[in-house]
Structures are given as C-alpha cells and as structure tokens.
C-alpha cells in the first residue's frame, strides 16, 4: 500500500513548497507536481500520479481544487479512484474516502455537481428562449456578407470551384457549399 502525493500551482511564480511539505508530513512516499492551470486537460504530474496508483493505495492532495478542473471533473476523478480501489485524502478539507464521513462528503459534492449542471442547463435554455422571443438570432454570426455573396456568384459563373471561391473570399468551403445550396434551392 503506497501513498502518493499530488501538488499543483497555476503559475511558475507560485511555490509548490507549502503543498509538498504538507504532503510529505502526511506520509506521501512519492509526490508528483504540476505547474499548470487547473483548467488544462494535460497535466503530466497528475497523469503520473494516477498511473502509479494501484488498488489499496492512497492519493493525498493538499486541497480538492488541486485535483479537478471543475466540480464535475473532480467527482469523475474521485469516482474513478474509488472504482480502482484507491483512497483519496484531502488535507485542507479533512476528507478521507476510507471513512464513512469522507465518502458522505464526496457524495454530497457529487450531488452538488449534478445540481450545478442542471441549473446551468436550465439558465442557458431560459436565456436562449428569452433571446429568441426578443427576435435575436442565436448562434455564430454569418460570415456571408453581401460583398462575399456577389464575389462568390461572379466566381461561380466564371467556373471557379468551391475551394477556389472559399480561398479567394476568405470563408470555409462549407460556407460556399451552404451558399450554393441555398442559391439553387431558391
């Protein structure tokens, strides 16, 4: 049974010393670190820490926010650890998933994450509906200006391919195909 530590700071100007010292004092035999934003998917230190863990091992972190990019990512990571038989200890929040209280706390976090996702989806849907009701066009603005339309039509009449048209007027080929289809449907 191995105890692995993981520490992360967001910028090179920040120091890992506080976290590393706390993890070592808590019994971490090996400590993996990252200097990277928590929002980044690729964190080599975390990947190495997770890869070195096996069933019966413990992952120690200084704070929960060091582990996950978001609450939902944190919950997914903790669920994966539990599925693999790995215990998680967070020093700052005093959570230890080897105890009933620690598992309960993480279950509450999982419920809050699901609640947060539901609220976000509801707010987004309500905002989009309100915008549509006010006559707003939802989505990315069109790149197809009247000038581009005129240039594309002229090039098409001269026998240019959609790829040539797209390159010349600075839009994607898909935009050209969409425009050509709309023009022939009309």
Hunting for tokens 């996702």 — which residue is that?
117
Per-residue H/E/C for 80-96: HHHHCCCEEEECCCCEE
> Which residues fall within 8 angstroms of residue 3, CB to CB, at 6 or more apart?
26, 27, 28, 29, 57, 58, 60
Q: Which residue has the tokens 């990019």?
A: 69
Question: Do the beta carbons of residue 4 and residue 59 sit within 8 Å?
Answer: yes
d(CA 118, CA 104): 21
3-state secondary structure of 21: helix
Task: Determine which one of 10, 15, 72, 90 is catalytic.
Answer: 10
10 is catalytic: yes
Q: How far apart are CA 93 and CA 64, in angstroms?
A: 7
Could you count the other beta carbons within 10 Å of the beta carbon of residue 63?
14
Count CA within 13 A, CB hemisphere, residue 168: 17
**Rounded-to-integer distance, Cα 140 and Cα 72, Å:** 27
The residues annotated as belonging to the active site are 10
């Amino acid at each position: 049974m191995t105890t692995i530590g993981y520490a992360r700071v967001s910028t090179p100007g920040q120091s890992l010393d506080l976290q590393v010292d706390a993890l070592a004092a808590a019994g971490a035999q090996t400590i993996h670190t990252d200097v990277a934003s928590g929002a980044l998917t690729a964190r080599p230190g975390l990947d190495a820490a997770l890869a070195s863990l096996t069933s019966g091992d413990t992952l120690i972190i200084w704070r929960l926010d060091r582990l996950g990019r978001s609450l939902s990512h944190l919950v997914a990571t903790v669920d994966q650890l539990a599925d693999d038989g790995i215990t998680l200890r967070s020093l700052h929040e005093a959570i230890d998933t080897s105890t009933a209280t620690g598992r309960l706390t993480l279950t509450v976090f999982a419920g809050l994450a699901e609640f947060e996702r539901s609220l976000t989806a509801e707010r987004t849907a309500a905002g989009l509906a309100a915008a549509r009701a006010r006559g707003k066009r939802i989505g990315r603005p069109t790149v197809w200006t009247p000038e581009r339309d005129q240039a594309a039509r002229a090039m098409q009449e001269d026998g240019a391919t959609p790829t040539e048209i797209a390159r010349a007027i600075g839009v994607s080929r898909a935009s050209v195909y969409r425009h050509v289809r709309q023009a022939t449907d009309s």
